[in-house]
Amino acid sequence: MSANEISREEIQAVYPKVAGTLADALGCDVEQVTLDIPLIEGLDAESIDFLDIVFRLERAFKVKIPRGKIIEEARGDLPEAEFETNGLVSEAGRVRIKAYLTEVPPDRFRTPMKVADIPRLFTTETFCKLVIRAQRAAQAAVPGS
């Protein structure tokens, strides 16, 4: 496992608090918030809810999660012009998103894919990973850690 990979143990460690936070933000029962449920199709989240969810996760975990981080990190070093054209994700972009969102079943990656539809892929596990990456970034920023 590379340093960037996230283990099942790490995900399970943050999952209960992430699930509770999502349930509060979306007004649903915590039992509905499974790791693999898509937030938009499965829990009726709207894109505006993602801002609230990120804000709540930042407070719950005492971390900073920059806005737009998921798509930015998925793109990596791929120039934006190679990632998408006229709002559509390129084939190279799709490969990057699939590699980054490993928790999303392959059949959910449609062609063509609009950049605006990327949030439809997000699951509870996506947000668990976001929290873990933010925790790692915070630890890395502390001198001597």
pLDDT higher than threshold 90 for residue 4 = no
Return d(Cα 17, Cα 117) in angstroms, integer: 26
3-state secondary structure of 103: coil
Q: How many domains does the chain have?
A: 1
Residue 1, in any domain of the structure = no
pLDDT tens across 101-117, in order?
A: 999 999 999 889 999 99
pLDDT of the residue at 68: 80
pLDDT tens across 48-80, in order?
A: 899 999 999 999 999 999 878 888 888 989 999
Return d(Cα 99, Cα 129) in angstroms, integer: 13
Q: What is the CATH number of the domain that holds 94?
A: 1.10.1200.10
pTM across the whole model: 0.92
Closest-CA residue to 25 (of 46, 4, 7): 46
Residue 2, in any domain of the structure = no
Residue 107, in any domain of the structure = yes
